[in-house]
Amino acid sequence: MKWRSGERIEKWHPLLFSVIVFIALFFAPSCAFPPYDTAFDNVIGAVVTSSSILIGFVGVLLSLLIGVKETPLIISLFEIKGASLLRKYFAQSILSGFFLLVLSVILYLRDWIVAISSGFEFDAYSFLVSLWVSLIIFVVLAACRIINIMMIILFKSNRMPKIDSIEMDENEAKQLQEKYKRTD
């Protein structure tokens, strides 16, 4: 299977951007994160709330996918092995959201983290905050990616006629795939 450049960008952009942000934050000497700032607690709380909402929204999209699984578009998607990539995107979005929640809770203990890491050369607090910010970016981009894909699937599946049987020969399946091929 030959990849188009858009497919590569779609697959790797959340990870690429979050790694760039992590490197920029952790290795930039001008980025110092204040460990004893009470406003940071509010930011952590907002991130916990927002990521919880995103996880819930992606879960609802997954249930919508189950609801339209008998449409020709979804049937052809499963036949061309697009389901494994879609499953991977859902898993990345949901699991990274849960990891962000856990890391946010760990950052509430930043006084303890700063006290423990003060005897070492490695700055664990800056590492965790850089990881946290880059994970925020990853979760948002991964959720936007799956939301975009699901909107395309849902709107295309609403335009397609319902079929009584999922049995069709290879020629009919290829014609259906060509007719409803993603053009963006």
How does pLDDT run across 7-63, given as a tens digit for each residue?
A: 666 777 888 889 888 888 888 766 666 666 778 888 899 999 999 999 999 999 888
pTM of the entire predicted model: 0.72
In whole angstroms, what is the distance from residue 36 CA to residue 108 CA?
11
Is residue 154 within 8 A of residue 64, CB to CB? The reply is yes
Whole-Å CA distances, 92 to 104, 141, 142, 174: 18, 11, 7, 30
Least confident of 52-61, 64-73, 133-142: 64-73
The four Cα atoms 98, 61, 142, 103 give a dihedral, to 10 degrees, of -10
- Of 128, 124, 125, 126, give the one whose Cα is nearest residue 102: 128
Backbone φ, ψ for residue 104 (5° rounding) = -65, -40
At 146, which amino acid appears? I
In whole angstroms, what is the distance from residue 99 CA to residue 97 CA?
5
In whole angstroms, what is the distance from residue 168 CA to residue 11 CA?
31
Q: Which pLDDT score, from 0 to 100, does residue 3 have?
A: 47
Q: Which residue would you say has higher pLDDT here, 75 or 143?
A: 143
Structure tokens at 34: 């204040």
Q: Which pLDDT score, from 0 to 100, does residue 170 have?
A: 80
Is residue 96 within 8 A of residue 135, CB to CB? The reply is yes
Structure tokens at 128: 């965790």
- In this prediction, residues 97-120 reach a mean pLDDT of 85
Q: How confident is the model at residue 100 (pLDDT cuts 50, 70, 90)?
A: very high
Other CB atoms within a 10 A radius of the CB of residue 184 amount to 5
Least confident of 22-36, 95-109, 154-168: 154-168
In whole angstroms, what is the distance from residue 61 CA to residue 147 CA?
8
Q: Which pLDDT score, from 0 to 100, does residue 7 have?
A: 62
